[in-house]
Structure 1
Amino acid sequence: MPRLKPRKFYAWAYGDLFTNTTRGVLAEYIVATALGLDETKRREWDQYDLKMGDVGIEVKSAAYVQAWKQARPSKIVFSIRRAQGWDGDTYTYADSPRRSAGVYVFCLLEGKVKDSIDPLDTAHWTFYVLPTSQLNRHFPTHKTIGLNRLEEIGARRCRYEELKAAIKKAAVFEREPE
């Protein structure tokens, strides 16, 4: 039996960076590189996507352009639903659905013409960073949120180079007593 090559598998499974699931994993990786967390392996199905110190970070992605043929660009909407998160350290689920991370990073792959978009170019992404407490305060039961609402409640819009500082600032805000 032949041994399969990882690179061929990656190309087969993840070759189209415009698919929703692959773009989501790419967004997590981009945020991880901005934070210097890209040397660790991604943990599937953990209670949040990344961890910086003691702060959990939830990464969400959206794009105007999808993998499939479209009549018009997609409306930008991010999932913010509460979940009964799995803790990979303790092998347990949370007692009730909640937003487990302290900070949310909403990643928007910019552009509306597919041929001019390079998902691997961080200049093609815009990031919106928000402490989870702001989501909980303004949208405690909502399952989705759009760009306008994010900006209305104070999400910090930033570029890749500003992402680490924005996440750190949101994490500090999250720790401050209300």
Structure 2
Amino acid sequence: MSPTRETFREGDIERSCGQEYKVLQIYPKKGTNIFPKRRLCEVESGSGERVIIKAKHSGVVTQVLVKVNDTIGDGCDILELEACTHTALLGNICCNCGVLLDEKDIPKTEAVSMLHSVPDLKVARNEAQKLGKEDIKNLLKQRKLVLLVDLDQTLIHTTNDNIPADLKFSLPMWGQPCLYH
């Protein structure tokens, strides 16, 4: 995730003209997930008009930069957040922040399907590798073995072709002179 800030812009408020606003209420707290159009705070102008300021980004709040009764104006930062990089998607919905993404907003990174029964669930390749390594580490720590039986190659595929040297799983098949990977 990359850091970003939610900034108050008077241009987002109708009938604004260089006023200062008093913060009446702040909605998200540190650690809260936010997404576009979620309420960030309520402010009041000098004329008594109350306005709700809404988010323009999605992510997790890392720091709230204003307090109740603070006076803010155009360009004042309201909060800091770690912007979501959308590493896990279910169709076009981010599994991390819950935002419905437009086609142009979907990350173009290599994604892998995590479950055969849910083909729309895609995870960034580096995230899938990280999850796989964590699974291996946990299984070794628990001293558990995994037996995968695949009689008709519906789950995995094997090959006896040349393979990359860093591939760590290969086995001899009964009655066959070569290794399968």
Higher normalized strand content (fraction of residues) = 2
TM-score, scaled relative to structure 1 = 0.23
Larger RCO, structures 1/2 (Cα 8 Å, 6+ apart) = 1
